[in-house]
Amino acid sequence: MRYISTRNSSLTFTLSEAILQGLAPDGGLFIPEEMPRIDFHDFISIATYPLLCQKILEPFFANDLLASQLERLCQQAFNFSVPITRLDENTFMLELFHGPTLSFKDFGARFLAACLNAMTKKKLTIMVATSGDTGSAVAAAFYKVPNIDVIVLFPEHKISAKQQQQITCWDQNVRAFSVQGTFDDCQRLVKQAFADPWWQKHRQLCTANSINIGRLLPQICYYAYASLEFYQQQKVSINFIVPSGNLGNVTAAFWAKKMGFPIDKIIIATNANKVLPDYLASGIYQPRPSITTLANAMDVGNPSNFERLTNLFPEFTKFKEEVAAYAVSDEEITQTIKHLFELRNITICPHTATAYRVRPQLPNDPTMIVSTAHPCKFDNIIEPIIQHPVPMHPSLKEMMHRESHYTVIAPELNLLR
């Protein structure tokens, strides 16, 4: 399998090259030259989740240096559960928050860490800007990985106390910086470092956000898994509602569908950052500065994976046929969290609430709500709404007891250096 840029299909790259480079040389995003097509019946009786992932990812790794190690990479990365629960007759929840840092970011971060660890002999530096969940997943996944340093930049006072502790409770090869600015300042520093001669000379930099294809490919697997589980029981295809920000997670869902897994409709839920719903309504794509909402991991005004989605459906009429998107306000997020707790005694995070809120607006076909984070990461938001304590997960409790280390810096590259 070769990989090409979303902006130019004449240059091709191996998977290892695409993972190491992060972004294509022309500024586009890496995509597979051709999506592998499967017969999903061949995947039905696979015994464990890591073995299923291995079989799904095999064609993407064909001819790559890492191909022979794929089994071990999957065993290493996917060592936690992926439960599906039933909410009512035709509504299910796919729980993606059982990894070490309690969000779906653990799937991609852990798999990327396993790949880079298997691939590099040279010293690498992973630099990430985070608005919350990426930083902790990457820090946890790369902690003590030999030859890899991690630099996490987070905006001072703009993430929850729990998120900050999960980012700063490390030492050794993981350094955290509290940047006196916004998430955009953090992202700008990362971009500047990639383009800076000093950094290019002294550090081999690599990105670990969702533009990296090494993070995206493993996310195909849980959509495939959930659709197969459902198909085995009910013999029909399932819909997914995906709470979205940078559109990485939902791109993986479309890739799983394109491969041939039994998936029917894929619906995007956004918060007030509704660039995509507006695009579907008007046909005009207008990125804008992000707005702060209760679902902070989805506060994105210029989604970086939009190019991968338009690459799947280049014509607007086709895009509109295949992609549906609904925006959910903070007030609706609050109501949804409150109602679900009061009526069903179920607690969900603000991101998951955007997806749940969209459910009644759709036909009553079998539909799975993608639950992206554990509610206890957002107890500061949820507890005042439900007037009830949100129990802390043991792995978060353990991290809360560790010593926190970080450096406060002004948003200037020379200070980071």
Ligand X SMILES: *Cc1c(COP(=O)(O)O)cnc(C)c1O
CB of 252 to ligand X, least distance (A): 8
Six-digit token string for 140: 């946890």
Type and span of the H or E element at 5: strand 3-5
Q: In the complex with ligand X, which residue's Cβ is closer, 173 or 249?
A: 249
SS (H, E, C) 212-243: CHHHHHHHHHHHHHHHHHHHHHHCCCEEEEEE
Q: Which residues lie across from 266 on neighbouring strands? A: 240, 323
Q: Which is nearer to ligand X, 70 or 212 (CB)?
A: 212
> Considering beta carbons, is residue 212 or 227 the nearer one to ligand X?
212
Query: Is 245 near ligand X (CB under 6 A)?
Result: yes
Q: Are 308 and 251 in contact (CB under 8 A)?
A: yes
Is residue 298 part of the contact set for ligand X (CB under 6 A)? Answer: yes
**Hunting for tokens 């992060």 — which residue is that?**
22
Under rule CB under 6 A, residue 163 binds ligand X: no
At closest approach, how far in Å is the CB of 89 from ligand X? Answer: 26
First to last CA, the chain: 37
Cβ 298 to ligand X shortest distance, Å: 5
Q: Decide if residue 375 touches ligand X (CB under 6 A).
A: no
Stretch that binds ligand X, among 77-85, 111-119, 178-186, 241-249 (CB under 6 A): 241-249
d(CA 366, CA 3): 34
Q: Does 373 bind ligand X (CB under 6 A)?
A: yes
Query: Can you tell me the distance from the alpha carbon of 140 to that of 158, in angstroms, rounded to the nearest whole number?
Result: 20
- In angstroms, the CA 38 to CA 28 distance is 27
Instruction: Kindly tell me which of 210 and 212 has the beta carbon lying closer to ligand X.
Output: 210
To the nearest whole angstrom, how small is the minimum distance from the Cβ of residue 103 to ligand X? 4
Minimum CB–partner distance for residue 62 and ligand X (Å): 26
Q: Is 357 in the site for ligand X (CB under 6 A)?
A: no
Sequence-distant (6+) residues with CB within 8 A of 381 are 160, 294, 350
| Residues 175-234 close enough to bind ligand X by CB under 6 A | 210
**From CA 369, how far away is CA 239, in angstroms rounded?**
9
C-beta of 73 vs 241, nearer to ligand X: 241
Between 104 and 230, name the residue whose CB sits nearer to ligand X.
104
Q: Show Cβ contacts of residue 302 under 8 Å, excluding neighbours closer than 6 positions.
A: 275, 287, 288, 290
Query: Residues 246-265 vs ligand X: string with x where CB under 6 A?
Result: xxxxx---------------
Give the single-character DSSP code of 393.
P
Q: Considering the candidates 105, 158, 162, 257, report the single residue annotated as catalytic.
A: 105
For ligand X, the closer CB: 16 or 210: 210
By the rule CB under 6 A, 106 interacts with ligand X: no
Identify the residue among 24, 105, 206, 324 touching ligand X (CB under 6 A): 105
Query: Which residue number, 70 or 224, has a Cβ lying nearer to ligand X?
Result: 224
H-run or E-run covering 309: helix 306-312
Give the residue, chosen from 173, 187, 239, 244, that forms a contact with ligand X under the rule CB under 6 A. Answer: 244
The strand pairing partners of 288, in sequence order, are: none
Question: In the range 119-138, which residues lie near ligand X by CB under 6 A?
Answer: 133
Question: Is residue 156 a contact residue for ligand X (CB under 6 A)?
Answer: no
Is 191 an annotated catalytic residue?
A: no
Task: Supply the minimum distance, in Å, between the C-beta of residue 250 and ligand X.
Answer: 6
Nearest distance in Å: CB 235, ligand X:
30
Is residue 297 close enough to count as binding ligand X by CB under 6 A? Answer: yes
| Exposure of 139 in the CB half-sphere (CA atoms within 13 A) | 30
Phi, psi of 368 (to 5 degrees): -110, 130
Contact 104, 372 (CB under 8 A): yes
Q: Which amino acid is present at 14?
A: T
C-beta of 97: minimal distance to ligand X in Å?
A: 8
CA atoms of 172 and 126, how far apart (whole Å):
14
What residue type is 164 in one-letter code? Q
Catalytic residues: 105
In the complex, the residues that contact ligand X under the rule CB under 6 A are: 103, 105, 133, 210, 243-250, 297-298, 351, 372-373
